[in-house]
Amino acid sequence: MKTMAKNNSIADFVRKHPLGAGLFGLAIGAGVLAAFIRSGEKLDLNGRVVLLTGGSRGLGLELARQLARHGCRLILAARDEVELTRAAAELRMAGAVVRTVVCDLSKPEQIDRMTVEAPKIFGRVDILINDAGIISVGPIDSVHQSNFRDAMDVMFWGPVRTTLALLPHFLRSGDADIVNISSIGGKIAVPHLLPYSAAKFAMTGFSEGLQSELRDRGVHVLTVTPGLMRTGSHVNAEFTGNREEEYRWFALCATLPGVSMDVSRAAKQIVTALQRRDRELTLTVIAQAAIRFHGAFPGLMLQILELANSFLLPPPSRDAAVEKGRQLHSKQSRAFQTLTGLGNTAAASQNE
């Protein structure tokens, strides 16, 4: 009833005040045009200060390399000091200006310290890239509540706490950017990756809502939804259930050309989207097609995922013992190790 009354009042206004309605229409058109013009602006990255979480390896390290080539000054954050030191040394050898902050995003007190220290290093932070992530692979039978808590701490609460802590700084500057690296798993719940998907769904919602609220206040938010990329992350992923079988399907998907995307190409596209101040970016043709198909035919997509779970993925197992991909890789046949060669090369080059 309220909706009908509202529609009637709008209709009455249009009939009684055609000039006002015309101005209202012009205002809407101007808003759309302004949004279009803003989307065409290109951000000059030279001299910008970037705080990049998860910057010591994988996609984060590749983004750091690309941003350094554009003249950005980098603050890399990660929980492993040895990996951070190694990544920073490589970047400095290539001429990058880099500082590091050790931070475990699952620990709020360390986030508090990082967000106080980071703006002091170069006097400000212009761009925040939330990239840190963890992956656990296994059937729901082998998953504990702790797996969901760990995933949410790193991939949802970590970015939320970091963003909220730096937001007053960004709003004062009136010219800042936030890049949130979500996942295809944050649009479509992938079987045997439920803790990861749950955290990425939350991250996607936070990022998209943030963009809606902050765009007109000078803070530009880019939500990145990658499909599978060859970052070498399969060696650091954790596996439960039928661990060797779980490792095989995940490593193949994260490695084979046509299924996974070269990490350097992915990073270039992300940097380009940042420069254009796009609102969203979905990487890989497969991810784009899957998201559109899921949006148009959600029930059918769920049936396809059910079939994949039943016939393609390993059978259920309650074995909650955990092994890293690196451990499981050594148990595979020589033929399999050859088949995943591109992924293993990526792992070496991406500090995994």
Position 240 scores a pLDDT of 97
Percentage of the chain exceeding pLDDT 70: 88
How far is 179 from 60, CA to CA, in rounded Å? 12
- Split at pLDDT 50, 70, 90, the class of 4 is very low
Evaluate the CA torsion angle 283, 289, 290, 296 in order and state its sign: positive
How far is 73 from 67, CA to CA, in rounded Å? 8
Supply 156's token pair: 């949802």
How far is 306 from 298, CA to CA, in rounded Å? 12
Position 348 scores a pLDDT of 86
Q: Is the pLDDT of residue 211 over 90?
A: yes
Q: Is the pLDDT of residue 126 over 70?
A: yes
Inter-CA distances, 324 with 60, 134, 136, 243, 248, Å: 20, 12, 9, 9, 12
Provide mean pLDDT across the span 6-17: 46
Position 1 scores a pLDDT of 44
pLDDT digits (tens, 9 = 90+) for 253-309: 999 998 999 999 999 999 999 999 999 999 999 999 999 999 999 999 999 999 999
196 is an active site residue: yes
pLDDT digits (tens, 9 = 90+) for 70-105: 999 999 999 999 999 999 999 999 999 999 999 999
- Say which CATH topology domain 42-349 has: Rossmann fold (3.40.50)
Q: Is the pLDDT of residue 11 over 80?
A: no
- Residue of 224, 275, 251 whose CA lies nearest to 342: 251
Supply 152's token pair: 């949410």
The domains of the chain are located at 42-349
Q: Is the pLDDT of residue 39 over 50?
A: no
Q: Which residue has the higher pLDDT, 16 or 61?
A: 61
How far is 21 from 268, CA to CA, in rounded Å? 45
Region of poorest pLDDT, from 32-41, 104-113, 287-296: 32-41
R_g over Cα of the chain: 22
Mean of all residue pLDDT scores within the chain: 90
Question: CA angle at residue 282 from 278 to 285, to 5 degrees?
Answer: 135
- Split at pLDDT 50, 70, 90, the class of 41 is low
Q: Is the pLDDT of residue 197 over 80?
A: yes
Residue among 157, 170, 196, 239 flagged as catalytic: 196
In a 10 Å sphere around its CB, with 0-12 CB exposed, 13-18 middle and 19+ buried, how is residue 67 labelled? buried
Amino acid in the structure at residue 9: S
- Residue of 168, 195, 165, 167 whose CA lies nearest to 183: 195
CA 217 to chain centroid, in Å, comes to 23
Asked if 348 and 239 count as a contact pair (C-beta separation under 8 A), the reply is no
